[in-house]
Structures are given as structure tokens and as C-alpha cells.
Amino acid sequence: MPYLTIKQIKGKPYAYLEQSIRIGKQVKKISKYLGPYTKALQVKEDSPEYNAEFLSKQTKLRTTHLLNTISHQFPITTEEIQKLEQMNLQYQHIKSRLHPKNITDLNKRFIANYVFETNALEGNSLTLKNVGEILFEQRISKGKDLREIYDAQNSYQTFLWLQQTKTNINHEFIIKIHSQLMQNIDDRLGYRNIPIILLGKPFTKLSTPETVYEDMTNLLLWYEQHEHTMHPLELAFKFHAQFEQIHPFCDGNGRVGRLLLNYILMKKNYFPIIIRKNSRNQYLKTLEAADRKKYTPLLRFALINYKKTFRNFFEIYYKYAQKEKESKNT
């Protein structure tokens, strides 16, 4: 948040709005001259006008820093990176300005929608209303499949855990995510030791049981090599695509893969993404293209759905946070 600073210049007081922000390992200061001190007394430090200007300056600084430190592949262009940085700054603004109870409500709403959509992608028939009843009311509608209920509960608890942990991504961490998701559902835990064929895609080449561990090791090495040199959205989706091609578990690969995708984003202080069930066909097609090392469709899909997630879940809260500040200043 910008704060008022008074500087003496040739014995006279002049006012500035300033804000310190961390860019990489450095702390930089953004400043705006307001005029002589007496005139500046009439200025509201937290006005929408100044917040918009400081947001723009922060976005440009962060974009410049990223462009100097990471690589990015089309369609993640300089213009798109700037849009992503602005959305993430607004997301951080939400978390810092809203009442903690409002943040909790937002988080519950987001994860419930995530659970509904990620499980629906795998054929889970629960409605969003069913998911809400299971997670927040401990109420289950008659006739619902027990596996689908455990799916919802396990996915919710695992997402909450991922928001809190700082664990490095390694074999043990990935297997733990899978174990938590499969609790009360499937006891075939750990990397698979049998071949599998995807329904509807019999010719998709997955890792063999003999190469699963080696392929996962290579994926983890790839992640380590690119973690700090590739744009976070590109890093998360390319990791996800490679993970799905390996398909290391007997069941739950899609759900584990999308949780890992979001964990990578959250580790980079980016907001998580929801891939909706009505995007399923396009989602699968982009993954198939990525299997052939054609990543442009996947990255375009990532950009579109990342922006949709912000518009559907966070933008309205950002506007609310701005209005809340305005009301306090009047």
C-alpha cells in the first residue's frame, strides 16, 4: 500500500507517495510526486486513482524482471506476461486487504468449485450443490456413489494441505498426494507395476511399468532444471503434460496431475487454476498435441483458462476490496 512521505528540498516540505516492493531478491521503491506538503494534506493515500497508477508501475517492474530472468514460449508473449502479472498483483491485493473471514469464504468457494470440476473431468457425477453439501454440511444425498463422495472429500483436504505445505516436488511427495486422494477408494498405492490402456485412446503411448520410475525421475530433473528459468504458467502446464503422458499410477493420474499443476503455480505465488468439465475435449486434445512436443495449443489453453479463473473467482473480490477501501476513506 502506498504511504505518504515528506521530503525537505531547499528547506521546504514536499510530499510523495511511495511504496516498497520486492522484485526477485531486491527491494525497489515506487514513488509519485504530489506537490507542496500543504497541498498534499488533501490527498487520500489509498484513492483508486493512485492505486491504479501504482498497480501499473508494479506490473511493469515485475514484467521487466521476469523477461530478464526467464524464458517463455509463444503464445506466452511479453504482453501476456504483463497481463498475468497484473492479475497476480490483484490477487495478492485481495489476500492482503479483505477480512480474514472473507478470505476463508473465498478459499472454500474456490476449492469447492475446483473439486467439482476436476472430478467431473474424470466422470464424477456429483453436482456442485452435492459437493457443497458433502464438504460443508456433512450431508449426503441418497443414491450417491460412495467413491464419488470420497473423491470430493479427499480432493478438498488434499488441496487445503497443498496450500499450507512448502515441500519440494519429489517422488515421495507425489506418491503422498496420490495416497491422500485414493484414501478409501483404491489401495493400489505407489507407482504402478502393470501396463494400462486409456479408454478411447488405445494407441496413446504411456510409460511401461518398467520405465515409470525412471521417467518420473527424468521429469523431476526436468522440473529442477527449469523451475527458475521458465515462466511459471508454462512450467506448470508442461510439467502437467509430461506427467500425464507417463501416467505413473493405476488410477487418479488426472486428479494428481492437476493438483501438481496448481501446486507449482502456488509455489510461485500465482493463483491456482480451474479447468472446467466443459473444456474437457479441448483439454485432452492439447495434452495429445503436447505428447508430440507441440506445446502451442497447450499454452494457449493455459492462458485462456487462467484468465477465466481470475474473472470467475477473483476479479469480483478485487473490485469489492477496492470499494471497501473507498468506503473507509470517506
Average pLDDT score, the chain? 88
Q: Return the bridge partners of 201, or none.
A: 198
| pLDDT at position 5 over 90 | no
Provide the pLDDT for residue 136.
94
Cβ-contact 17, 4 below 8 angstroms:
yes
- For the chain, the first-to-last Cα distance in angstroms comes to 18
Q: Which of 13-22, 133-142, 312-321 has the largest mean confidence?
A: 133-142
Provide the pLDDT for residue 124.
93
pLDDT tens, 102-158?
A: 899 999 999 999 999 999 999 999 999 999 999 999 888 777 889 999 999 999 999
| Residue 14, SS3 per DSSP | strand
Provide the pLDDT for residue 72.
92
What confidence category does residue 198 fall into, taking pLDDT thresholds of 50, 70 and 90? confident
What confidence category does residue 32 fall into, taking pLDDT thresholds of 50, 70 and 90? confident
Provide the pLDDT for residue 148.
95
Taking the C-alpha atoms of residue 219 and residue 216, their distance in angstroms, rounded to an integer, is 5
**What is the pLDDT averaged over residues 199-226?**
88
What confidence category does residue 24 fall into, taking pLDDT thresholds of 50, 70 and 90? confident
* CB contact set of 80 (below 8 Å; sequence gap of 6+): 303
**What is the pLDDT averaged over residues 68-82?**
94
Provide the pLDDT for residue 330.
47
Residue boundaries of the structural domains of the chain: 3-62, 87-325
Task: Output the CATH code of domain 87-325.
Answer: 1.10.3290.10
Cβ-contact 1, 20 below 8 angstroms:
no
pLDDT tens, 223-282?
A: 999 999 999 999 999 999 999 999 999 999 999 999 999 999 999 999 999 999 999 999
Confidence (pTM): 0.89
